[in-house]
Amino acid sequence: MIRLEDSASAGSRAEIRRGPIIGLDVGSTTVKAVVVDPRTDEILWRDYQRHETRQPEKVLEFMERIESELALPANAFRLFVTGSGGSGIAGRLGGKFVQEVTAVSLAVEKLYPETNSVVELGGQDAKIIVFKETEGSDRKKKLPSMNDKCAGGTGAVIDKINAKLRIPADELGNLGYEGIKLHHVAGKCGVFAETDINGLQKQGVPREELMASLFESIVQQNLSVLTRGHTLRPVVLLLGGPNTYIRGMVEAWRHNIPLIWAERNVPVPDRPMEELVRVPENAQYFAAIGAVEFGRQEEPDVGAYAGTEALREYIEFGRAQEKQARGSRGLAASRTELESFAEKYRKEAWEPARFVAGSRVEAFVGVDGGSTSTKGVLMDMEGRLLAKAYQLSKGNPIEDTVEIFRELRRTVESQGALLEPIGVGTTGYAKDVLKDALGADVALVETVAHTKSALHFYDEVDVICDVGGQDIKIIILNRGQVKDFKLNTQCSAGNGYFLQSTAEGFGFPVDRYAEIAFSAESMPEFGYGCAVFMQSDIVDFQRQGWRAEEIMAGLAHVLPKNIWLYVSQITNLPKLGRNFVLQGGTQHNLAAVKSQVDFIQERFARRGETANIWVHKHTGESGAIGAALEARRLYQETDRRTSFIGLNAVEAIEYTTTRDERTRCYFCKNKCLRTFIDVKTALPPGRTDPFPYKSGPEEPHAARIRGRGSDDRTPEEAIPEAPTAKEAPPPLAESVDSKSKSRLPLAEGANRIIIATCEKGTVEDVGEMREIKKGIDAVRTANPNLVEIAATAAFKSYAPPLVRDPEPKMTLTKAARTRREARARRASLRIGMPRALNMYSLGPLFSAYLESLGIPASNIVWSDFTTEQLYREGAKRGSVDPCFPSKLGIPHVHNLLYVHHKKKPLDCIYVPMVDDLPSDLVGCQAHRACPTVTATPDAVKAAFTKEGDLFDELGVRYLDGIVNPGDPRLLERQLYEEWGEILGLSPMENARAVEQGYAALDAFLNKIQRGTAREILDRLEREDRLGIVLLGRPYHNDPGINHEILMEFQKLGYPILTQSSLPLDEGTLERLFGEEVRSGFVPHPLSVSDVWKNSYSENTTMKVFAAKYVARHPNLVALEISNFKCGHDAPIYATIEEIIESSGTPYFSFKDIDENKPAGSIKIRVETIGYFLSVYRERIGRDRRKRAEIEDRLSAMERELRAQLSGLGQPTEVA
């Protein structure tokens, strides 16, 4: 221990400052400090505490304690501060700020010099530092990486989920990973993770498994993103709170890191895993210790601790000033404004209907099984609302719904009347399960339910903005018809749940939110965007001294920005129309309403206009109302009598939910787990009335109900290919009923609802499954999917004729002999190519080129189709984060190397850099390929050569020369340069092979794609049906990229065309564009100059052309797919939409697609699009009938006119 006199009696100031060094680490959730005697390295003092968002206060407390407990004057210390909150505080204490990674690195170098990698998980950040030996230096080079804008993979995600699952801190620390069953949880973002956890939780997955799955996802996220492709070589040090305190987190690292070592042949010292992947002592203090180390290297005057005065002053006064300077006024400019707002938007009082005692109340019931609550309504024959009920989720929608029915019934029966439901509709997440359980008449997709409800109460609605607990839906209408809708498919920033959880975090119930927020006279300005980062803004604002009410006001204020600018990305509101309906539970909160109203009105005010904004008078129940209205429509329009099981049966519902090995589906190789809900109601046992397609709450599930007594066969009998012994399902449980052969016996009187990932899994019986499959196959056959057809045809052999030179008679020169040897190798040469990117349009060109030169078709080896597993296995080598299609480059080459090459060695891997593309379009600036895609092969090469040349090690030659297929003569030269030596080519045979390549390309494009599309179009026109055109790049044919969305539409009965398959025959072009060419709008049918000027990117221009095509073809509608970060799609978003919508053609889109498959959102979108397409189909059918009638009348009129003319001879008038 340092003695007082050492410093106190020391002579010069510099000597005094050679006293203890304080290392202070101010993190997002905790403050850590160590005080070290620099001469002895002894830690004199240390502490680690959560600051509960009061960083300056906690630091002040620490500093005061250090001063008093070590009994030293302030000027004895030097202070070095690190951590995310360190920079602001350092200056106020006279200390010096040290960047966190620098600090951690210094500590690691000092305390654990053998370390080669560090993984530090902090509250809101994650860091990985890879240490590398450098030649000629005794210091290792540090390759650090930190999370940038995203909280994915950090402690914040654990905190978020933990808060949801309410696991006490000590229990969380003890949760494990090894030996625990894992489920898929997205680690990319806390919000996504929560969505997955919600789903799993509803399936009854225990929280140990949920957390273990979360640990796994966090580890995977960091391994695939944050390592930037570097290998975490042993010894790996695990630092930071989660790694220090949570056992499962450490186990997850110890499980996953060695897998990478094995794959990459990393030499592993023969030591226990605890030492190779270790949590060091004082792990939580590393940054603080590193700050001290940094301080040692500074001159004695640097970091001279100045005492706490300035910090105290900041806490007392400065913070308030800082706050004032940064904030803005409150939610209302004045009390008068607030009062007039409140007057206008005050909720209308609503009373349930009064019923005459003894009367029979015939009513339609609507139930909305939402993510956080269930709502129910009663409506009468005239569409009047009779009663409402609300139930906060108790965890299961069936249980919640029983409560809802109980309450509705109570409302009626308490007045002595009798409730008699004459129709029941369900909507919301749980709509299908509820429909099955209740025997409801309809399960209506939420978007449609909300639209029906808004249109029921308000006329001329242009926009419906529904903000619920988790969902944001923007529905855009045009003359009462839905034109477009936006859902928060990828992000839930801006939803109501965040407001609620923040209020609750401050100790206020959500219904007091508005009252509290309106009391704030000023508020902090939040940056809109990621909800997880807004959470960190809250912490920051608290640090600055903003009070709860001010933060709540600021949060309400940013809500519309998140809704309109961030999630739905509609920046130009007036374009949508003037009449807005706000609905969804969040509109109960008037602070949120005022922000919305102000935001919308401000956009109109800029144009000198105002908008009409209504808050739905039954804002929370709009979905339930929509469902009831649909039941009413069915009753009135189709004369349908309800299939509802009855109120007493609902009361008596008993159910059990099972999701375990006994529910696993063995109908295909995926072997998915299913959820069985066995419901016991008064529904007659064995009822087998086949409910139509229905699906479960969290995935694009299909569900089916079956009762006891159906022909139950075991899943084993149903398996087309018997599983191996290892995979075989567990033996049957002893059945209560000997007739039932299900592994999960169905109790007497129960009906089973099966929630599965596909339709086939909705039954247990192979016969039924085959029927379902047969039905699906029939629909698919009748409606070809060119996405799928092209995806297969791009990689098949086109069996080109051999065009190789004849064997030379003599080989006199060395060159000739070399060539002969190379020629001889052709028959055995194995060439791997990635089934990715431009290969989806150019595959036949390259395969036919090689095949025609004598490479056997079987030796042209394509990587596997993209799957989640393929991506996951290869992506860990990636060092950058481009669009998902480009990111697939590495996994596909990884697949070639680690799967195909392993099976049978490859000689070459050919990944050409495609610079331009062949084109049919006319008058474009150029036909360039996307530069991200072009350069992908070089980025792939880098990934496999940066830590030693893996291609070299495996004896595989990597070829990635640039090619210009848009210029056949240049391509010929390029291919000759690439392959000439390897294949022993002559220029002439190369030229012939190139011709064969183009011939195959022509067959692929014109015969397979356009030929099939021609047939489809003819049939659509003949049958007056609709087809969907995928507006997407060729790689969107990749099932791993398009997430098989198109197949869902195919199953709904729509044939799918791609933009490159659209027939370009003269007749069609003339029909679609002839008039416009003659009118001079466009110089050529294949030109896009009338709509798009910057036409140098081929796939972009092609998309624009396809949009024009769809806009002019009466039997086609458009579905645009685009990837997150697509640099060439973004500039044409508005153009594509305008081209299609101007013509009145429906346009739908799935944008920002990436590696995460948001299955739940995809399902809602598909269902909604399906609904509106069917409406559109009905409308155009009706319109065509009307037009035909008009034509008949006109023909009659014409006959009459001509008759008059012929009768008049030379008339002056016709009547």
Partner 1 sequence: MNPITISTGPEAAVRARLEQERARLEAEAGLRPHAPSHFRRQAEALFTADQRGTTTILFGGLTWKHEKLIHGGLEGLGYKCQVLPVPDVRAFQIGKEFGNNGQCNPTYFTVGNLVQYLQGLEAGGMSRSEICEKYVFFTAGACGPCRFGMYEAEYRLALRNSGFEDFRVLLFQQSGGLSQSEMAAGLEMNLDFFLAILNALTIGDLLNEVAYQIRPYEANRGETDRVLDSVMDDLHGVMRSKRPFRLTGARARIARAVGLERGLTEAGKYIEQIFGEELVGALDSARRRLEAIPVDRLRVKPIVKITGEFWAQTTEGDGNFKMFSFLERENAQVLVEPIGTWICYMIHGAQNKIRDRKGLEERMPVPTWGRPLARLRAELHAQRRIRRLGVAMVLFKRVYERYRKALGGSAHPLADQLEMERIAHPLYNTRAGGGEGHLEVAKNIYYHHHGLAHMVLSLKPFGCMPSTQSDGVQSAVVGKFPDLIYLPIETSGEGEINAHSRVQMALGEARARARAEFARVVEESGYGLEQVRAYVSEREEMRRAGLRVGHSPGVVGIAANFYLDATRRMRAEGIAGVPDAATANETPEDSLAGRGLVESPVAVEA
Return the residues of window 891-930 that contact partner 1 according to CB under 8 A: 913, 915, 925-926, 928-930
How far apart are CB 907 and partner 1 at their closest, in Å?
Answer: 21
- Helices marked H in 783-838: 786-793, 814-825
Q: Which of residues 848-887 bind partner 1 (CB under 8 A)?
A: 878-882, 886
Q: For partner 1, which residue of 132, 181, 360, 384 counts as binding (CB under 8 A)?
A: 132
Query: Per-residue string for binding with partner 1, 142-161, x by CB under 8 A?
Result: xxx-x-xx------------
User: Do residues 1107 and 1138 touch, judged by C-beta distance below 8 A?
Assistant: no
Strand partners, 473: 466, 487
| Chain centroid, CA 1172 distance in Å | 23
Q: Which of residues 290-329 bind partner 1 (CB under 8 A)?
A: 297-300, 302, 322
Which of 513, 1007, 432 has the alpha carbon at shortest distance from 679? 432
Q: Is 932 in the site for partner 1 (CB under 8 A)?
A: yes
State CA 1129 to chain mean position distance: 18
- How far apart (Å, rounded) are the C-alpha atoms in residues 87 and 78? 16
Least distance from partner 1 to the Cβ atom of residue 1138, Å: 5
Binders of partner 1 among residues 69 to 98 (CB under 8 A) are 84, 87-92, 95-98
Q: Is 670 in the site for partner 1 (CB under 8 A)?
A: no
Tell me if 24 sits within 8 A of 79, measured CB to CB: yes
Instruction: Considering the complex, state which of residue 169 and residue 1194 has its C-beta at the smaller distance from partner 1.
Output: 1194
Q: What is the smallest separation between the CB atom of 467 and partner 1, expressed in angstroms? A: 20
DSSP for residue 223? I
744: tokens are 């999960």
Shortest distance (Å) from residue 511 CB to partner 1: 33
Q: Does 101 bind partner 1 (CB under 8 A)?
A: yes
Question: Does 939 sit near partner 1 (CB under 8 A)?
Answer: yes
Nearest-approach distance from CB 578 to partner 1, in angstroms:
16
- Asked if 10 touches partner 1 (CB under 8 A), the answer is no
Sheet holding 373-379, edge to edge: 385-392, 373-379, 360-369, 418-428, 442-444
Site stretch for partner 1 (CB under 8 A), options 127-135, 186-194, 732-740, 1029-1037: 127-135
- Residue ranges in 876-957 assigned as alpha helix (H): 884-887, 889-895, 901-903, 931-945, 950-954
**Residue 716, CA atoms < 13 Å, CB-side half-sphere:** 13
**Shortest approach of partner 1 to residue 1191 CB, angstroms?**
9
Structure tokens at 324: 């004032």
Tell me the closest approach of the beta carbon of residue 587 to partner 1, in angstroms.
24
Selected range binding partner 1 among 154-162, 361-369, 470-478, 1085-1093, rule: CB under 8 A: 1085-1093
Residues 515-534 that bind partner 1 (CB under 8 A): 527, 529
653 touches 749 (CB < 8 A): no
Which of 223, 455, 943, 956 binds partner 1 (CB under 8 A)? It is 943
C-beta of 1083 vs 1131, nearer to partner 1: 1131
Backbone angles phi, psi at 810, to 5 degrees: -130, 150
- Within 8 A by CB and 6+ apart from 1126, the residues are 883
57 lies in the site for partner 1, by CB under 8 A:
no
Please state, in angstroms and rounded to a whole number, the distance separating the CA atoms of residues 248 and 981. Answer: 55
Region from 109-117, 251-259, 795-803, 1180-1188 binding partner 1, contact rule CB under 8 A: 1180-1188
Task: Based on the shown chain and the rule CB under 8 A, indicate whether residue 767 belongs to the binding site for partner 1.
Answer: no
Q: Dmax of the chain from CA atoms?
A: 131
Nearer to partner 1, 100 or 196 (CB): 100
Chain residues 384-443 in contact with partner 1, contact rule CB under 8 A: none
Closest approach of partner 1 to the CB of residue 603, in Å: 9
Residue 1111 has which token pair?
């806009």
Contact set for partner 1, span 1113-1172 (CB under 8 A):
1122, 1124-1135, 1138-1139, 1141-1145, 1151-1152
Which pair of tokens denotes residue 604?
A: 């109109």
CA distance 837 to 841: 8
Identity of residue 904:
K
Q: Return the bridge partners of 482, or none.
A: 477
Q: Which residues are CB-contacts of 1146 (< 8 A; sequence separation ≥ 6)?
A: 483, 1117, 1118, 1140, 1172, 1173, 1176
Q: Which string of x and - marks every residue 601-630 that binds partner 1 (by CB under 8 A)?
A: -----xx-----------------------
485 vs 644, which CB is nearer to partner 1?
485
Site for partner 1 in 963-992 (CB under 8 A): 967, 969-970, 972-973, 987
Where does this chain touch partner 1 (CB under 8 A) — which range of 156-164, 227-235, 647-655, 669-677?
227-235
Q: How far is the CB of 881 from partner 1 (least distance, A)?
A: 7
- The rounded distance, in Å, linking the Cα atoms of 339 and 344 is 9
Residues in region 348-377 near partner 1 by CB under 8 A: none
Contact between 838 and partner 1 by CB under 8 A: the answer reads no
Q: How far apart are CA 384 and CA 397, in angstroms?
A: 26
Binder to partner 1 among 774, 1183, 1188, 1203 (CB under 8 A)? Answer: 1183
Site mask, partner 1, residues 463-482, x = CB under 8 A?
A: --------------------
What is d(CA 875, CA 223) in angstroms, rounded to the nearest whole number?
A: 9
- Number of residues lying near partner 1 (CB under 8 A): 132
Q: Is 149 exposed, middle or buried (0-12, 13-18, 19+ CB in 10 A)?
A: exposed
Residue 763: CB minimum distance to partner 1, A = 42
> Quick one: 395 or 1080, whose CB is closer to partner 1?
1080
Using rule CB under 8 A, residue 1079 touches partner 1 = no
Over its C-alpha atoms, the chain yields an Rg (Å, rounded) of: 34
Interior angle at CA 784, CA 779 and CA 788, nearest 5:
115
